[in-house]
Chain A
Amino acid sequence: MKAKEGVVNVLNKVLTADLTAINQYFVHAKMCENWGYERLHHKVRERSISEMKDADELIGHILYLDGVPNVQRMNAVQVGETVLEQLKLDLKAEQEMLTLLSEGVVHCTKVTDFTTRHMLEDMAEDVDEHIDWIETQLETIKQVGVENYLAEQIKKES
């Protein structure tokens, strides 16, 4: 199917952010595993895999629209040295992703591509949830202190 004007471009931009996020979350997850923070490792790894599923959907949709998925382009992967830094950098990445998705939704509405718009809206919902999760972690850290928070991350969530 032929894409409406600018839609493939929008999808490729989201794909770039997505491919960057996959790597960022994956390395954060592995660092958490290395530090022994099992709960965080699982949470962040899950997030990385869900970004990969988004990339799967994006690439499929770009091809469906007769576009070329740009899997070569990536933004700078922002790796934190500590759990707190990782959370803050992941929050920043998710907020940027949300901006991108919102712009995409507006663009798709303008050119009346409602299928793509729907897809981006679903992704935005996921991002919203993740932002909320990170904000909760940051608030917990503020209340109980980073050491207490980290002590709780050593065990797996049942």
Chain B
Amino acid sequence: MYICLCRGITENAIKRLGEEGVLCPNALACELGLNEPDCCGRCLKNIERLTAIAQGQVRSVAG
């Protein structure tokens, strides 16, 4: 599913980043552009969950 509608970030895109080795919260935020000033900030608030998705610890949100 789409995790972020502002930037069109999908769960699969985060998983792919994880597979490429982007596994820590900072690197993920940077790679996804979550630190940009025009971001709504919701993703950054949930960065722990995004990191868990990248690390493959979460089953698909859609079940």
Contact = CB atoms under 8 A, between A and B. Distances in A.
Main SS of chain A's interface residues?
loop
Given A81-B10, A81-B12, A88 B5 contact: no
A79 B63 contact: no
Contacts of A89: 1, 62
Interface residues of B, number: 11
B5 A85 contact: no
A81 B2 contact: yes
A141 interface: no
Contacts of A80: 1-2, 62
B63 A92 contact: yes
Interface of B: 1-2, 5, 10-12, 42, 60-63
Interface of A: 76-81, 84-85, 88-89, 92
